[in-house]
Homo-oligomer: A and B are copies of this chain.
Amino acid sequence: MITSPANPKVKRLVRLRSRRHRDSEGAFLIEGYRELTRAVAAGVRIDEIYVCDPLFLGTNEPELVERIMASGARCHRLAPDPFRKAAYRDRPEGLLAVAPQFDTGLERIRLRPDPLLLVMEGIEKPGNLGTMLRAADAAGVSAVVVADPTTDPFNPNVVRASLGCLFTVPLAVSTADGVIRWLAGHGIRALVTTPSTRDLYWSADYSGAVAVVVGSEQYGLSETWLDGRFPMARIPMAGSADSLNAATAAALVLFEALRQRTAADGLLPKW
User: Which residue numbers of A lie inside 8 Å of B, CB to CB?
Assistant: 38, 41, 131, 134-141, 161, 163-165, 168-169, 198, 200, 202-203, 235-241, 244-245, 247-248, 251-252, 255-256, 258-259, 262, 266, 268-270
Contacts and interface: CB of A to CB of B under 8 A. Distances in A.
Contacts of A202: 259
A165 B161 CA distance: 23
Contacts of A236: 138, 258, 262, 266, 268
A245 B162 CA distance: 9
B137 A239 contact: yes
Contacts of A140: 238-239
B241 A251 contact: no
B165 A241 contact: yes
A38 B241 CA distance: 9
Contact of A239 (B165, B245, B251): B165
Contact of A237 (B138, B198, B245): B138
B135 A240 contact: no
Nearest to A137: B239
A198 B252 contact: no
A139 B245 contact: no
Interface centre among A203, A236, A241, A269 (most CB of B within 10 A): A241
Given A134-B245, A198-B266, A238-B270, 20 more contacts: A38-B240, A131-B245, A131-B248, A135-B245, A137-B240, A138-B241, A140-B239, A164-B241, A165-B239, A165-B240, A168-B240, A200-B266, A202-B259, A203-B266, A235-B255, A236-B258, A236-B262, A252-B252, A252-B255, A256-B259
6 contacts: A134-B248, A141-B239, A165-B240, A247-B248, A248-B248, A251-B252
Contacts of A168: 239-241
B38 A238 contact: no
B203 A239 contact: no
A40 to B, nearest CB: 12
Interface centre among A168, A198, A200, A244 (most CB of B within 10 A): A244
Nearest to A238: B140
B198 A138 contact: no
A202 B135 CA distance: 16
A203 B264 CA distance: 10
A244 B134 contact: yes
A248 B165 CA distance: 15
Contacts of A251: 244, 248, 251-252
Interface centre among A135, A140, A245 (most CB of B within 10 A): A245
